[in-house]
């Protein structure tokens, strides 16, 4: 009797079970990104202008800037203006200045950056923004 019990236990233990085989396999999760439509530059600009106009605190402004500058394009002057106004609305001077530093890093050359500065000069005068290049001309 004991030998028969031992044989049965060994036979059952040697069989693969369904639970053991499924526990070893990891689920395969795939997310296809081909279903997304391309966003036009105009709709991108409109989306971020609306976002910055409705931002209520510094965290939202900085999150929006991070998302906006993560794209492979330079934001339009209207987006930059909305971002700077949002930064000043939440009373953060440093973030307003850093918006211009972000634009400087995103543009291809110095002439493009100068065009942004020229177009946004009335905004900078209105909000009293002094850029890093104006404070430290030798370091730029």
In angstroms, the CA 87 to CA 6 distance is: 77
**What is the pLDDT at residue 26?**
55
pTM above 0.85, yes or no: no
Cα 70 to Cα 59: distance, rounded to the nearest angstrom: 16
Nearest to 84 by CA among 108, 59, 120, 114: 120
- Each residue's pLDDT, cut to its tens digit, for the chain (140 residues) gives 666 655 665 565 566 655 555 555 555 565 555 556 788 999 999 999 999 999 999 999 999 999 999 999 999 999 999 999 999 999 999 999 999 999 999 999 999 999 999 999 999 999 999 998 888 888 75
pLDDT of residue 5: 59
pLDDT on residue 136: 87
Q: What angle do CA 118, 122, 124 make, to 5 degrees?
A: 90
Torsion from C-alpha of 49, 129, 61, 65, nearest 10 degrees: 70
């Amino acid at each position: 009797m004991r030998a028969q019990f031992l044989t049965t236990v060994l036979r059952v233990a040697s069989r693969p079970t369904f639970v053991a085989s499924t526990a070893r396999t990891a689920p395969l999760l795939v997310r296809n990104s081909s279903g997304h439509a391309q966003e036009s530059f105009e709709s991108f600009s409109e989306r971020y202008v609306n976002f910055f106009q409705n931002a209520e605190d510094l965290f939202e402004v900085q999150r929006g800037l991070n998302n906006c500058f993560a794209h492979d394009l330079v934001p339009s002057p209207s987006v930059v203006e909305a971002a700077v106004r949002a930064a000043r609305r939440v009373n953060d001077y440093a973030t307003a200045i850093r918006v211009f530093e972000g634009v400087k890093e995103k543009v291809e050359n110095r002439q493009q950056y100068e065009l942004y500065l020229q177009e946004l000069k009335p905004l900078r005068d209105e909000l009293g923004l002094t850029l890093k290049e104006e404070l430290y001309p030798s370091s730029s």
